[in-house]
């Protein structure tokens, strides 16, 4: 390759990949200096310069002059001795391919990092390029790819799994994904397996905020801030719950999210591959919030222990299995959504209604006040059983009242 052809190739490559031309040449000079030092078997370090106009390459050996620094033992002054070989262009061309590929890859990763590091949490639409057993490569736009990892945690404990169970992707399929991380190519953190060859952007289909972003697209009231998403609980690929609150008194937040005939929530469900989504109304009253979170089950009453963040829920006998859900899914999601520990009991098992804390009556929507067992353990934990009629204690601790 002639020297002029080399510089033209570098300029074309820099323009195509949107890399600074002078940065590319400087990196090539530094890399070639190491190569020539080894090829020419130089005693001292080498310096390479590439003429920006002609592309001619010059190789100099940096021969130290004077005495070394008494403290560091290093030389500070050097004399440049021209050691440019006759076949300098041939040697440069042989090394340029791998050097340029490495420089372009690193510069491209740095450019992507600078562009996308501030977009973590954004929803983007991409096209599936290829899939492997461990990850799927998604094209976000021309020249920018993202990785959707779905590694087996048992084989690779340090890797992510961001694909819902049951989802499989086809070539050229369009997907909405959430950006959850952007790898810094200059970071000193330990590199993950094959990190240099993997895309810088990591995306997810399991993150709870994916649902938040999808609702922002489908529900203008959320995008405009009239309806606020308070909390999200999700078991990817199966079921999710989202708690919403209206800043406008006359605006129904659940109705706004569901849409006419369920059109809005249906679009979200379709994007999530038919993952069930329950939209519930957030309430600053923890008892009502817990009752709403257990939807679609009907709740008779809720008693809350605010000190221990514990809620006891009473449901009709025919609603018990619905409140708990398949393998406890409904109760589990409600607990995650509200942040409360929830204990669900059927009306026949619970017996008399609780007497302290908040009680919700589904018929007249009244709030009453009653009392539970007054026993407190030495650790300061209050008994959560019902007090017996006419007593302050439950059947287990009734003997305490007699002793008093």
Kindly state whether residue 350 falls inside one of the protein's structural domains: no
For 114-118, the CB contacts below 8 A with 24+ separation are 116/144, 116/179, 116/182, 116/200, 116/201, 117/182, 117/184
**Pair of tokens at residue 97:** 């391919």
Share the mean pLDDT of the chain. Answer: 82
Domain final residue, candidates 77, 111, 145: 111
| Cβ 134 vs Cβ 224: under 8 Å | no
Partner residues linked to 232 by β-bridges: 242
Q: How confident is the model at residue 362 (pLDDT cuts 50, 70, 90)?
A: very low
Query: Backbone phi, then psi, for 117, in 5-degree steps?
Result: -65, -25
Q: Are 335 and 243 in contact (CB under 8 A)?
A: no
The angle, 0 to 180 degrees and rounded to 10, between the axes of the packed helices 21-39 and 3-17 is 130
Q: Between 273 and 77, whose confidence is greater? A: 273
Question: What pLDDT score was predicted for residue 92?
Answer: 64
Domain boundaries, position 93: 3-111
**3-class secondary structure per residue, 103-162:** HHHHHHHHHHHHHHHHHCCCEEEEEEEEECCCEEEEEEECCEEEEEEECCCCCCCCCCEC
Nearest 5°: the CA angle 79, 80, 82 is 145
**Which residue among 111, 143, 169 closes a domain?**
111
Tell me whether residue 368 is in a domain: no
CB proximity list for 250: less than 8 A, separation 6 or greater: none
Q: What is the CA radius of gyration of the chain?
A: 33
- Helix, strand or coil, per DSSP, at residue 70: coil
Are residues 92 and 13 both part of a single domain? yes
Pair (45, 138) in one structural domain? no
Q: Do 270 and 230 fall within a single domain?
A: yes
Res. 91: pLDDT tops 50: yes
Domain count, the chain: 3
For 106-119, letters b (16+ CB in 10 Å) and e give: ebbbbbbbeebeee
- Find the range with the poorest average confidence among 16-20, 150-154, 159-163: 16-20
Q: What is the mean pLDDT of residues 259-287?
A: 93
Provide the pairing of β-strand 239-246 with 276-281. Answer: parallel
Confidence of residue 230 (pLDDT cuts 50, 70, 90): very high
- The residue out of 244, 263, 282 marking a domain boundary is 282
Q: What is the CATH number of the domain that holds 181?
A: 2.40.50.140
Residue 342 lies in a domain: no
Tens-place pLDDT, residues 246-265? 999 889 999 999 999 899 99
d(CA 54, CA 183): 37
Dist CA 358 CA 360 (whole Å): 7
Of 88-97, 140-149, 154-163, 325-334, minimum mean pLDDT range = 88-97
Report the predicted TM-score, pTM, of the whole model to 2 decimal places: 0.69
* 200/227 same-domain check: no
């Amino acid at each position: 390759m002639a020297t002029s052809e080399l510089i033209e190739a570098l300029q074309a490559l820099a323009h195509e990949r949107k890399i600074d031309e002078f940065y590319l040449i400087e990196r090539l000079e530094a890399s070639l200096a190491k190569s020539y030092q080894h090829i020419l078997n130089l005693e001292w370090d080498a310096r390479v310069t590439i003429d920006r106009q002609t592309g001619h390459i010059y190789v100099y050996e940096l021969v130290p002059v004077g005495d070394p620094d008494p403290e560091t033992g290093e030389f500070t002054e050097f004399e440049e001795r021209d050691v440019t070989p006759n076949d300098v262009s041939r040697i440069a061309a042989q090394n340029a391919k791998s050097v340029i590929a490495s420089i372009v890859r690193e510069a491209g990763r740095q450019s992507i990092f600078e562009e996308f590091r501030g977009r973590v949490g954004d929803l983007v639409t991409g096209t599936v390029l290829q899939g492997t057993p461990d990850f799927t490569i998604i094209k976000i736009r021309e020249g920018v790819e993202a990785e959707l990892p779905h590694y087996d945690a048992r084989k690779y404990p340090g890797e992510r799994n961001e694909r819902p169970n049951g989802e499989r992707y086809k070539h050229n399929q369009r997907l909405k994904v959430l950006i959850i991380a952007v790898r810094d190519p200059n970071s000193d953190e330990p590199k993950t397996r094959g990190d240099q060859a993997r895309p810088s952007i990591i995306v997810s289909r399991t993150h709870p905020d994916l649902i938040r972003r999808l609702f922002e697209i489908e529900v203008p009231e959320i995008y405009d801030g009239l309806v606020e998403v308070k909390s999200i609980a999700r078991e990817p690929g199966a079921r999710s719950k989202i708690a919403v609150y209206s800043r406008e008194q006359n605006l129904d937040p659940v109705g706004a999210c569901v849409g006419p005939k369920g059109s809005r929530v249906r679009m979200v469900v379709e994007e999530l591959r038919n993952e069930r989504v329950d939209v519930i109304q957030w309430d600053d009253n923890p008892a009502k919030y817990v009752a709403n979170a257990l939807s679609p089950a009907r709740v008779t009453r809720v008693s809350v222990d605010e000190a221990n963040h514990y809620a006891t829920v009473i449901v009709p006998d025919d609603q018990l299995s619905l409140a708990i859900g398949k393998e406890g899914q409904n109760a589990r999601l409600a607990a995650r959504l509200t942040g409360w520990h929830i204990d669900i009991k059927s009306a026949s098992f619970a017996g008399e209604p609780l007497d302290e804390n908040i009680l919700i009556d589904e018929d007249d929507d009244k709030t009453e006040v009653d009392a539970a067992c007054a026993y407190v353990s030495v650790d300061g934990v209050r008994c959560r059983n019902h007090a017996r009629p006419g007593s302050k204690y439950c059947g287990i601790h009734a003997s305490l009242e007699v002793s008093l």
